[in-house]
Chain A
């Protein structure tokens, strides 16, 4: 049985278009209970999905910078979608955190980590995926180092031109 499954997987992988990351459609609820659909956001322009949690310090650093980038490009259709990865332990702190900091980009929940898994997330955040309007993943960022926002800015600029 194991060999059969392995064989099926291998045949498909060799026939398939193998990429580091593939598009995964999802609909999730935002902080106010409204539905956020990735394909609808992409109708307006490129989307950067940022996986984050309230206990993750580099995530918070990245979000602070992403608010500036969101303000800069939102008029051109760009969306920064912050997908929350808080577990059941800290979920109730998400809305107070976002609203107290005055962030205006959309924030949605991925409590069961299905979207994170859909984008091959593995134990480490921040993790961000930049998707163009053709639903192609054009960049993947793991972790956040001070200065990374400049590279992200360049990538978004190239897409909104």
Chain B
């Protein structure tokens, strides 16, 4: 890869030199820096351990006419979450031509269509990075009204398991994508991914070959928009010493569709998902299972993405290997002062499983059912999830804004061996926000969230409450001060605490520099992006961040 990168760089310089007269050569550069520091204590269960991290990320881009050179220099020593690193983490050279050609060598992220077969991205708070180091070439051109878009990419991916950062999966990925628009409102596309991977497990590393073809279609007609994508997955694993994964192939597939209707005052979206990328019994599931959804795949979750602190604490983690369901989202704009959002979401696994062995050995067998293309939310054995959410926003005056919502969620984690030990979580949450503009520059914001939770596997009190309060004062354009508190009467809170307080100041020194200080305790919990969730440990102490654009 290093040689390809160097060759590409020399080639780009050559093209630039040969096509453009030297006096017209324009060279611009931009540099951005992010420094993060934290010092305090982190809780792992009841254990309180000192925690210190120092991260500095410098992103640079150099534009030489049609050529862009980019890099990220990183010092993560120690890193907040993940593996320590010091040096050039990312670098790339990119060439863009006006006729629609784009070539990039080095590191990149990308998404094809809605990500059923190819969606690679980075999220540092999760310690998640599925970026590819290789080459990406694309061509986009209009032949009259006919639009054509093609893309080829290939390279190496080193995926550090975000739940266990020391477990590294490696892949060689190749992808070809063609998309055409024969008419203005119609898009038809196909994508094909071929990958070879090495997936470490508890006993051995499994080599796999995977093929993922996908077709998708999008069209709009008057006020309606429709999109649908179907992907197939075939994984062949090589024999090794892992007893469960000894040389077998697995077929899976996924379907995602959305239909939306919109006009002034009303917007309706219906999402449907049917993900069967790795249907298997409860005893065969695991993050190191080689036939699971592969890390370069990331389909839509088809459920509401919440911004409320307490609602996001209990997210439903989408099971892309086995989940069917969808959501209905309605936006109603009554007037310039009144908006409303209603969201209904349901999901479940396709099948339930029964232990068919009469001896002590567990042998799960899938229970066949009709209508497995719709979720079953009445039988706990399907691990059902449902939620409804209603939110209203109202501008009482030009200066006073209010937002009130109500959410009710139910999530089941079924225990096949002992159904009475299944975990059933029911939450009801009311978030309230009030904002008042004191004058042209000052604004005051008050947030209050009340949550009632029921958890069936608690040994003591199964019902408890959580509360979140925050007050935020901002002075445009440079200052933001926030004080927040979180409270619970949960007797089984892992840290044994019942309250957390945090103060945060964001100050923009100028357009180029922004600093953030925070001090206090944070409750931690699940952090989710794109259906991927990681538990963030509670933290107590000081954090500092400086964001600079040179």
A-side residues, CB < 8 A to B, are 1-2, 4-6, 8-9, 12-13, 15-25, 27, 32-35, 55-57, 87-93, 95-102, 111-113, 118, 120, 122-123, 139-143, 145-148, 150-151
Q: Are B27 and A142 in contact (CB under 8 A)?
A: no
B-side residues, CB < 8 A to A, are 2, 5-6, 9, 26-32, 34, 59-64, 68-69, 71, 73, 87-88, 91, 96, 109-111, 114-115, 119, 121, 124, 140, 142, 181, 184-185, 187, 220, 223, 225, 227, 258, 260-269, 271, 298-302, 305, 307, 329, 331-333, 339, 435, 437, 440-443, 474-477, 480, 506, 508, 511-512, 514, 530-531, 547, 549-550
A87 contacts across to B, CB distance below 8 A: 111, 115, 121, 530
A98 contacts across to B, CB distance below 8 A: 262
A123 contacts across to B, CB distance below 8 A: 124
In the complex the two chains form, what is the Cα distance from A65 to B108 in whole Å?
A: 34
* Beyond A22-B61, A89-B305, A98-B262, 4 additional pairs, beta carbon < 8 A: A87-B530, A92-B258, A111-B111, A122-B59
In the complex the two chains form, what is the Cα distance from A8 to B64 in whole Å?
A: 13
Q: List 28 A-B contacts (CB under 8 A).
A: A1-B2, A4-B6, A9-B62, A12-B69, A13-B29, A13-B62, A17-B26, A18-B31, A19-B28, A20-B549, A21-B30, A22-B28, A25-B96, A89-B300, A92-B227, A93-B267, A96-B262, A101-B331, A112-B110, A120-B30, A120-B549, A122-B32, A141-B511, A145-B475, A146-B437, A150-B441, A151-B476, A151-B477
Q: Are A100 and B476 in contact (CB under 8 A)?
A: no
Q: Are A21 and B442 in contact (CB under 8 A)?
A: no
Give the Cβ gap from A137 to chain B, nearest Cβ, in Å: 9
Q: Are B110 and A19 in contact (CB under 8 A)?
A: no
In the complex the two chains form, what is the Cα distance from A92 to B329 in whole Å?
A: 10
B28 contacts across to A, CB distance below 8 A: 16-19, 22-23
Give the Cβ gap from B317 to chain A, nearest Cβ, in Å: 13
Q: Are A33 and B181 in contact (CB under 8 A)?
A: yes
Q: Are A96 and B261 in contact (CB under 8 A)?
A: yes
In the complex the two chains form, what is the Cα distance from A33 to B183 in whole Å?
A: 10
Give the Cβ gap from A55 to chain B, nearest Cβ, in Å: 5
Q: Are B440 and A150 in contact (CB under 8 A)?
A: yes
Q: Given A146-B476, A147-B442 in contact, is the A13-B60 Cβ separation under 8 Å?
A: yes
B30 contacts across to A, CB distance below 8 A: 18-22, 120
Q: Are A88 and B300 in contact (CB under 8 A)?
A: yes
Give the Cβ gap from B382 to chain A, nearest Cβ, in Å: 23
Give the Cβ gap from B20 to chain A, nearest Cβ, in Å: 15
A-B contacts at CB below 8 angstroms, number: 198
In the complex the two chains form, what is the Cα distance from A133 to B477 in whole Å?
A: 25
Q: Are A147 and B477 in contact (CB under 8 A)?
A: yes
Q: Are A93 and B269 in contact (CB under 8 A)?
A: yes
Q: Which of A4, A87, A98 has the most CB of B within 10 A?
A: A87
Q: Which residue of the partner chain, among A16, A88, A145, contacts B480 with CB atoms under 8 Å?
A: A145
Q: Are A33 and B31 in contact (CB under 8 A)?
A: no
Q: Are A33 and B185 in contact (CB under 8 A)?
A: yes
Give the Cβ gap from A31 to chain B, nearest Cβ, in Å: 9
Give the Cβ gap from A100 to chain B, nearest Cβ, in Å: 4
In the complex the two chains form, what is the Cα distance from A20 to B9 in whole Å?
A: 24
Q: Are A140 and B119 in contact (CB under 8 A)?
A: no
B480 contacts across to A, CB distance below 8 A: 143, 145
In the complex the two chains form, what is the Cα distance from A17 to B27 in whole Å?
A: 6
Shortest Cβ distance from B270 into A: residue = A92
Q: Given A13-B62, A146-B443, A146-B474 in contact, is the A88-B111 Cβ separation under 8 Å?
A: yes
Q: Are B27 and A99 in contact (CB under 8 A)?
A: no
B115 contacts across to A, CB distance below 8 A: 87-88
A19 contacts across to B, CB distance below 8 A: 28-30
Q: Are A22 and B29 in contact (CB under 8 A)?
A: yes
Q: Are A100 and B437 in contact (CB under 8 A)?
A: no
In the complex the two chains form, what is the Cα distance from A90 to B56 in whole Å?
A: 31
Q: Which residue of the partner chain, among A17, A100, A120, contacts B32 with CB atoms under 8 Å?
A: A120
Q: Which residue of the partner chain, among B88, B260, B300, B514, contacts A142 with CB atoms under 8 Å?
A: B514
Q: Are B305 and A90 in contact (CB under 8 A)?
A: yes
Give the Cβ gap from B545 to chain A, nearest Cβ, in Å: 11
Q: Are A148 and B477 in contact (CB under 8 A)?
A: yes
Give the Cβ gap from A49 to chain B, nearest Cβ, in Å: 15
Shortest Cβ distance from B27 into A: residue = A16
Shortest Cβ distance from B111 into A: residue = A112
A145 contacts across to B, CB distance below 8 A: 443, 474-477, 480
A97 contacts across to B, CB distance below 8 A: 267, 331
Q: Are A100 and B262 in contact (CB under 8 A)?
A: yes
